[in-house]
Amino acid sequence: MIGRFLFWHLVHLILGILFLFPTKVSAVIILYGKSGKIDYNLKTGTFNVSESAKQLLLKGFSQAEYQKKMFGSKDYKVITYSKKTIHDGFGNGFKHVFLLKRAGLPTMQQIFYTYSGKNYFIISVVLNGVDLSINHMVPLNGNLIDREYADLPTSLFVPFDNDTFIAYNTIPLTANIANPSAEVTALYHNQSRKGFVIGSIEHGNWKTGVITAMDNTKKIIVQAICGFTDENITRDKIPHGYLKGNSVSSSKVFFGAFDDWRLGMETYAKLNRISEPPIAFKWNKATPVGWNSWGAMQEKITLEKANQVTDFFADSLKSFRSGGVAYIDLDSYWDNLLNGGLTGDYSRLKAFADHAKSKGLKPGIYWAPFVDWGFAGGGNRKAEGTAYTFAEMWTKVGHGYYDIDGARALDPTHPGTQQRFASVIKKFRECGFEMIKIDFLGHAAIESDHFYDPKITTGMQAYKTGMEFLLKQLDSKMMVYAAISPNLASGRYVHVRRIACDAFKSIKDTEYTLNSVSNGWWQTYLYDYIDADHVVFSDQSDGENKARFLSAIVTGTCITGDDFSLQGKWTGTAKRLLNNTDILKVLEDGKAFVPVEGNRGKSASPLFVKLVGNVKYLAVFNYSDEAKVFNIDFSRMGLKINATYKTENLVNQKTADLKNNQMLSLAGKDAAIFKITLKP
């Protein structure tokens, strides 16, 4: 690797020497990966990207908005180039800087980052001037060159968060169709799996939108826009906030072409983890499993019922553990156990926590720190644990405030907001809770006309401020689980994140959850764990119960949600499924399964696989009401076509041989999971 690095260093040195003769040089060639090349035209401020002889991007350029006018790298007359070696979390590489100057415009820097052996590059834009105020920057704009013509390319929509039952979507890109996606997108062909991945790897200042579109000439356009807001995606009702100063930088944007778009998405997730390392304490314990009260008990929480659930886990679900541990988590309405409100008597909550610990279980609690549920009662109410009223703490948006999900957003930078949840979390710690589920975090990322802290000017800056303050209060004493929250920006603040919005017991709930896994499984490399949330059995059919349970296993953790203080069909189902140690063993590595098929619109892949050592697990789901036959195509699953494998159905422990193109029949609303031993 060192030899290859020195070779590329020599190549770039020669190119740099050639550049000393500007009258003879009109282009700079930047090499990356095995055969990647960025060909930058110094006369036009544009660049082309290729790998070997294949063109990937044509007429690439960068843009920004300044004083209400758009301008771009193509508008500059003087462009110079410099580079330097770098060594960072991504590896050994080069930072290539194009400096663009023109009278009347801020100085622009287009910066490319390339790394030895990495088949991708990263691009950002920096504007320099005096007292700049910028809320729109486009590091990457250009024409993607589709490498296949046999079928339409699929454009992936990634939601900004997991609120309002929003779903991932895969959209066939046809003439005059545009698909805006939050932070990242993939443009791929499902059969060959070849495709592009483009996305932001920084989330501390900007919301980024990645738009793929096809015009009426079938030209594919891609734009990565820092400062992207859309009420249907980012939830914002006003434009993005302005970044100010003498130097304003965009987010870094990742660009890569891959033979398998799924590998591209996983690479992207891993780079996010490097770019914005976790602030939450390092998790070195087992994969979390447990129970959450919102699945069925909801507002009916009492101390007696919570203790009865604890006893059920201790007595009837003894095998439902991971590393010997399970969490018992009280969701919203835990304040039923308080006397005197949030500043009152927490003794019954402590009694619950103590009882859970006495049974060998870990107690968990819930909090939505950035919302006011009682705003309909007026703003003059005193915020608990503070000297402020709620009206002072509400996030200001236009001529009013920001409401969604029946709650009003609180300014994360306001001392009242911070004092309020600091006082509550102090009580949680005193009670001995070891897990906290935090919810409605998207309210903290909303754009505002102005925040209490004048240094904070964008929603993502406010989110960062609020989450960092929250972690300081937790003081590494609790596992942190995020429910409704931004997909990408939450990675550094929590250990576990729910992959979708609320899902409960039906096959449609399972399909909804697995839509998010089919298109967002790659977040397993951004978080310690992703989760399907409350898995409810209730009185559904055995097949639906099995599918709901396996949807959690495929996601990588398992938090169940029935009311086990009561007897019903669900208690028998739980004893049968949740004590299955062969299936629970699949959770040990904590990683999500990979979808076998993409391009399912708002539905989900029916097949998922996960490789663990010498074993490949296969999960199969039938989302329809009728029985269905599935073709087990080894070429799609990474198995040897001519081999015969020993398999075990982990639900019923039956063993059988498995061959390529074998047909598997599943009843309607059903699922199965198989352990495939890779030694034929």
Q: What is the pLDDT of residues 442-492, one digit of tens each?
A: 999 999 999 999 999 999 999 999 999 999 999 999 999 999 999 999 999
- Asked if the structure places residue 478 within a domain, the reply is yes
67 in a domain, yes or no? yes
In a domain, 158, yes or no: yes
253: helix, coil or strand?
strand
Residue pair 125/108 in contact (Cβ under 8 Å)? The answer is: yes
**Exposure class string for 622-632: b at 16+ Cβ within 10 A, else e:** bbeeeebebeb
412 and 477 belong to one structural domain: yes
Three-state secondary-structure class, residue 421: helix
Helices in 507-638 by DSSP H: which ranges?
507-520, 542-555, 569-577, 581-584, 634-637
Structural domain includes residue 390: no
574 domain-assigned = no
Give the pLDDT score at 637.
96
Q: Which residue has the tokens 């309020």?
A: 420
Q: What is the pLDDT of residue 10?
A: 52
Structure tokens at 279: 């602030």
Q: What is the pLDDT of residue 18?
A: 45
Residue at a domain's end among 245, 275, 305: 275
CB 557 within 8 A of CB 590: yes
User: Which positions of the chain have pLDDT values less than 50?
Assistant: 1-2, 5, 8, 15, 17-23
Confidence at residue 680, expressed as pLDDT on a 0 to 100 scale: 57
Q: Give me the number of domains the chain comprises.
A: 3
The answer to whether residue 523 sits within a structural domain is yes
Q: Does one domain contain both 293 and 259?
A: no
Instruction: Give a yes or no: residue 589 inside a domain.
Output: no
Among 233, 251, 275, identify where a domain stops: 275
> Does residue 509 sit in the same domain as residue 616?
no
pTM for this predicted structure: 0.94
In the beta sheet, which residues pair with residue 575?
A: none
The per-residue pLDDT for 5 is: 47
List, as one string, the DSSP characters of 184-245: EEEEE-TTT--EEEEEES--SS--EEEEEEE-TT--EEEEEEET---TTTT--SSPPPPEEE
pLDDT digits (tens, 9 = 90+) for 597-627: 999 999 999 999 999 999 999 999 999 999 9
Same-domain status, 30 and 156: yes
What is the C-alpha separation between 266 and 251, in angstroms, rounded? 19
CATH number assigned to the domain comprising residue 602: 2.60.40.1180
CA distance 518 to 600: 9
**Number of neighbouring beta carbons within 10 Å of residue 603:** 16
Write out the residue range of the structural domain in which residue 479 sits. 289-368+408-567
Q: What is the pLDDT of residues 142-197, one digit of tens each?
A: 999 987 776 789 999 999 999 999 999 999 999 999 999 999 999 999 999 999 99
| Final residue in a domain of this structure, among 275, 309, 330 | 275
Asked if residues 445 and 460 have their Cβ atoms less than 8 Å apart, the reply is yes
